[in-house]
């Protein structure tokens, strides 16, 4: 158990840190349009839901 605490656990922590560092640093090499945050679009509602559009169980709760 001492070998795990002294050698294996710290190695796993370092490997996770290095993986996260590489994943975050990879944005440098992406094309400029992919390195930007994702665009946020507003959702447009195309139709209004009425109580009759609800499933039968939800319709019983709504009335």
pLDDT (tens digit, 9 = 90+) per residue, 10-63?
A: 999 999 999 999 998 887 887 776 667 777 887 676 766 565 665 666 555 555
14, two tokens? 């370092």
What's the pLDDT score for residue 29?
81
Quick check: 59 and 52 in contact, CB under 8 A? yes
Instruction: Classify the phi-psi angles of 23: left when phi > 0, otherwise alpha if psi is within -120 to 50, otherwise beta.
Output: alpha
Quick check: 46 and 53 in contact, CB under 8 A? no
Quick check: 36 and 27 in contact, CB under 8 A? no
Quick check: 27 and 35 in contact, CB under 8 A? yes
């Amino acid at each position: 158990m001492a070998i795990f605490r002294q050698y294996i656990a710290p190695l796993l922590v370092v490997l996770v840190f290095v993986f996260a560092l590489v994943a975050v640093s990879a944005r440098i090499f992406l094309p400029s349009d992919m390195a930007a945050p994702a665009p946020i679009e507003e959702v447009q509602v195309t139709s209004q839901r009425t109580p009759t559009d609800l499933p039968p169980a939800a319709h019983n709760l709504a009335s």
